[in-house]
Amino acid sequence: MPTSSRKSAKYFLAPLAGYTDLPFRSVVKKFGCDMTFSEMTNVNAIAYNNEKTRKMMEKSPLESPYFVQVAANNVQNAIKATEIINEIDWIDGIDINLGCPVNKARRSGFGGVLLKDENKELLKEIVKAIVKTSKKPVSAKMRLGYDEIVAVDRAKMLEDLGIKFLTVHGRTVKQMYKGKANYDEIKKVVKALSIDVIANGDITDYEKAKYVLDYTGAAGVAIGRGAVGRPWIFLEMKQEGEITPKQKKEVILEHFNQMIHFYGDYGVILFRKHAHAYSKGLPKASEFRSKINEVKDAKIARELIEEYF
């Protein structure tokens, strides 16, 4: 695959549990994010029509294309979940999670644990079943391996099974978020595949994205933690100008309002972590965080946010 042009590169919002919900995704789309994914959803919950999971799959009118990310640990429910997704018109595709490093997912056999050698056949059967059943495009997001690097082998297998593009996070599952992302291994995957590869890991500004695109030849980058507290990062990525402090305040308030609209009063509590991220590096941030942590009323929280930012 040739080295990608930064002008044609794609900038995706990487799924991030607890952060990249519908309110957050609706905000980043306004800044030129090319593609969004739902938070990781469990195929077992989808198969049994879990109400909370169904809500997690909803999308903003701004999101297009929009893929639902699924995690599977058995073939039967992977097929059932895919059949349900087939009938939801506003979902454009399915992304298979092969990288989630959290202990709960590992113990249950979801995500990155499927990259282990002993799970290779199960991984193959799950992906094969989803691709065969789906009436929509299927992609995948993977890590470099579980504890050993097997990225090229697994990536080639995924391509052969029919996925349309692949996002690669430059760490193993065991690394969690420690150490630096390994762009050498992502580069190897790019060279080995004919489908588009999206690079992920430690991309927090335009200069880093530029370096990663040039070095790996990836077709784009996926930004997860780098967008938390900075949803306007996609504006920076496309070199389309800078955001003013006044605009930042408007964005933060819109994000807060979206949280209340989507979650009701509980959105005040859920927004706290975002308020912490938005205030990072600003004067009297700790004082603001202490105040916002005590508030449960939407009106009072909104007043605090307006006053601080």
| Residues designated catalytic | 100
Tell which residue, 150, 201, 204, has the closest CA to residue 176.
Answer: 201
Question: Residue 106 in contact with residue 146, Cβ under 8 Å?
Answer: no
Amino acid, single-letter form, for residue 179 = G
Q: How far apart are CA 231 and CA 223, in angstroms?
A: 10
DSSP symbol at 176: T
Based on DSSP, count helices (H) and strands (E) in the chain, helices before strands. Answer: 15, 9
Which amino acid would we find at residue 32?
G
The tally of CA atoms less than 13 A away on the side-chain side of residue 255 is 30
Count CA atoms closer than 13 A to 132's CA, side-chain side: 12
For residues 259 and 267, is the Cβ–Cβ distance under 8 A? yes
Q: What one-character-per-residue DSSP string does 81-150 give?
A: HHHHHHT-TT--EEEEEE----HHHHHHT-GGGGGSGGGHHHHHHHHHHHHHH-SS-EEEEE-S-SSS--
